[in-house]
Structure 1
Amino acid sequence: MSGAKIKICGLFRPCDAQSVNDAMPDYAGFVFDDRSRRYVAPQQAHRLREAICPGIVTVGVFVDAPQERIAALYRAQVIGVVQLHGGEGDGDIARLREALCGVEIWQAYKIRSAADRRAAEQSTADRVLLDSGSGSGRRFDWSLIEGFARPFVLAGGLTPETIPEAIARLHPDVVDISSGVESGGVKDPGKMLSAVAAARGP
């Protein structure tokens, strides 16, 4: 197993910053959708970003958010990557690129069929994130994405125990984990350490 990069998503408590610094994933995610129980307000995310190691890239997760809101967080260096999780299309991606020079954009796709796979493979985003649904914490049918034609982020139901199988079978560029490193609905420092170790391999 060659390993993959890892994103730990859904940080929202002040103590999560220390836990993520101890684990040192490649990416840490902030959810800016106020319908999520992991929602962080912009001011809260700014404080978390200041406490997180500069070597960890922060990703902002947005669901059909106004471009101005995304741009403000990116320009303030609260986030380094924009992850689109709603109904955004190629036009939205183009407008963000025009407004934010050099921005890296990820676009999420729910994978339920071969048609979903084809749509994801044709996205104009820098990376696509393949998932079972917004924050569902469930694994989708991995056979639908075997031999996927471009680098991708794998999400949906991952745990420290299933990450090695996912990497060996699917070869994702990044694995994205949230509920799989939680206990009682909050981030578990021990599980975060285990997930990062599992992603990077022996």
Structure 2
Amino acid sequence: MINVKICGVRTRDHALTAVDAGADMIGLVFAPSRRRIDPDDAIAIAEAVRTAADGRRPVSLIGVFVNDDVARIREVATWCGLDGIQLSGDEPVAYAEALASFLVIKAIRFDDSARERDWLIEDRAHVRLLVDAHVPGSYGGAGVVADWDRAAGLARRRSVLLAGGLTPANVAEAIQRVRPWGVDVSSGVEINGVKDHQKIRAFVAAARAAAQ
């Protein structure tokens, strides 16, 4: 089985499309970004997702943060009813313990930094590693394909969520080569910076078919 995350969702309609398509996780960005949403909008999306997913497979809501204070992260996550936290900055591994009541997804870019090495060493049941592309000066993959070979090596040891330049056209190959715990997409299901219903459905369907 493959876990599918649609990230950078900003509207109720796109969130509901992701639920209907069979996504397992929906990412809500609270970090500075063109996809950033405020907590009130996140609460509205969360309520819509919970209602739509009732009786189906649970859909997890993941908040994306970059170098934020851990107390604020907990506050926003609790206020919005999030299931998980994605740390996409240079957060220290101590955040894993501080956020132990949530699923924690830590972005890894194989940048060989000391803090990243700490996360690679630390192995906790509630932590997943998200492999993204290393783009200097950016805390996102910027649509660039990640290092699938290194991701595959890591996926043999840890639960890896593969991100970075994934699209409906290449996600099947990515899954076959990396064998990740899950896949994550944002710009790959957008047209002109806006989530596209058809692309969301196509991405989930392609990931599911590849996992079988």
TM range (shorter): 0.7 to 0.9
- Map 1:17-56 to 2 at 5 A: 17-33=15-31, 35-52=32-49, 53-54=52-53, 55-56=58-59
Q: Measure the CA separation in 2 of the matches of 1:114 and 1:152.
A: 19
Give the drift of 1:109: 1.0
Give the paired residue count. Answer: 195
- Cα RMSD (Å) of the superposition? 2.2
Give the drift of 1:103: 1.6
Give the drift of 1:115: 8.9
Q: Does 2:136 match 1:139? A: no
- Map 1:120-199 to 2 at 5 A: 121-124=120-123, 126-133=127-134, 134-135=139-140, 136-148=142-154, 149-199=157-207
5+ residue gaps, structure 1, are none
CA 117–41 in structure 1, closer or farther in 2 if over 3 Å, else same: closer
CA 118–75 in structure 1, closer or farther in 2 if over 3 Å, else same: closer
Provide Cα deviations, 1:46-93, integer angstroms capped at 9, x if missing partner.
Answer: 011111134211100001112222212332353101111111112122
Which of 70, 73, 81 is residue 70 of structure 1 equivalent to?
Answer: 73
Question: What is the identity, as a one-letter code, of the residue corresponding to 2:12?
Answer: P
Q: Does 2:84 match 1:81? A: yes
Tell me whether 24-33 or 49-58 shows the greater mean CA deviation.
Answer: 49-58
Q: Measure the CA separation in 1 of the matches of 2:83 and 2:16.
A: 19
Q: Measure the CA separation in 2 of the matches of 1:37 and 1:5.
A: 25
Q: Measure the CA separation in 2 of the matches of 1:168 and 1:7.
A: 17
CA 120–158 in structure 1, closer or farther in 2 if over 3 Å, else same: farther
Give the drift of 1:15: 2.3
Give the drift of 1:145: 2.7
Q: Measure the CA separation in 2 of the matches of 1:77 and 1:41.
A: 10
Q: Between the two proteins, what is the percent identity of the paired residues?
A: 36
CA 114–37 in structure 1, closer or farther in 2 if over 3 Å, else same: closer
Aligned twin of 2:10: 12
5+ residue gaps, structure 2, are none
Q: Which is bigger in relative contact order (C-alpha 8 A, separation at least 6)?
A: 1
Q: Measure the CA separation in 2 of the matches of 1:114 and 1:172.
A: 23
Q: Does 2:66 match 1:60? A: no
Q: Measure the CA separation in 2 of the matches of 1:154 and 1:180.
A: 13
- Map 1:83-98 to 2 at 5 A: 83-97=86-100
CA 139–170 in structure 1, closer or farther in 2 if over 3 Å, else same: same
